[in-house]
Amino acid sequence: MTAKPLVAVTGASSGIGEATARAFSAAGHPVLLMARRIDRLEAMRLPNSICRQVDVRDRAVLTAAVREAESKFGPVDMMFANAGVARLGDIGKQDPADWDEMIAINVNGVMNSVHAVMSGMMARRHGTLVMMSSIAGRKVYPDHTVYCGTKYFVHGVSDSLREYLSEYDVRVIVISPGIIETEVLDGVKDPVTLANYKANKAVIGGGIGADHVADLILDAYNLPQNALVQEICITPTRQKY
C-alpha cells in the first residue's frame, strides 16, 4: 500500500493518457497503466506502477488488471477512461468496419472501464471517474460523423452517471479537448480528411501539449471530494470551432 490512492489509466501508452499517468505518478500516486502497446508502458518506468496489456473491448481482461493492481495498492480512486480511436472519414465512403471499431472502443471500452471500478467506489462512497470525450462531443464536424456520435455518447452517459453517482459522493469529470498534440491522426485513413485536418491545425498554429490536459485533470482530482469540475474543455487559443 502507498500513502496516496491508486489511479488507473486506459490508453496510457501515448498522448493524454501517458501525460496523465506521468502527472499522477509524479504527484506520488501508484498507477495502473493499461494499453495494447505494453512495450511503451514498460518503457515509461514509473515507480509504483503496474503495466498490463489491455484491450478495453475485453471487459474481463480489463477488470482482471484492475483487481490485480488493487490487491497491491488498494482500491482505484480514479479511473481515467481515456482509450479511444478516431477513424475520421467521409461517411458516404467510409468502411463500416471503422464505425464498428470506434463504437467498440470509444463506447463499449468506456463503459467497461466504468464497470471495473464503479461498484467499489459506490461502496466506499469515494472515487472519481474521468471520461475522455472531445470538443467533437459538443459540436459536429465534417468527416467526424461516427466519431462525434461516440463522443456525444460519452457526454450523455457521463451526465447520467454524474447524477446517479452524486448520491454516493462519486465524481464524474468529462474531458473535452480540442486539437492536442497526440497520435490521433495515426488512425485517419481518408487522405482528404487527413489533409483538411492538418491544414486546419496549421492555420491555428498547431495543437497544445497533452501535459496541459494532464495538469488540469490532476488539479480537478485534487479538489475536495465534495467539489466537482464537471467538464474540462480546453483548446488552442486560436481554435475557433
Shortest CA distance to 173 belongs to which of 225, 117, 130? 130
Distances (CA, A) of 126 to 1, 63, 68, 71, 187: 18, 19, 20, 18, 36
Give the C-alpha separation, 150 to 77, whole Å: 25
Catalytic choice (147, 152, 221, 241): 147
Type of residue at 63: T
Residue count of the chain: 241
Cell of 132: 475522455
Positive or negative: CA dihedral 86, 91, 93, 96: positive
**What residues are paired with 218 via a beta bridge?**
none
Specify whether 147 is catalytic: yes
The catalytic residue positions are 147
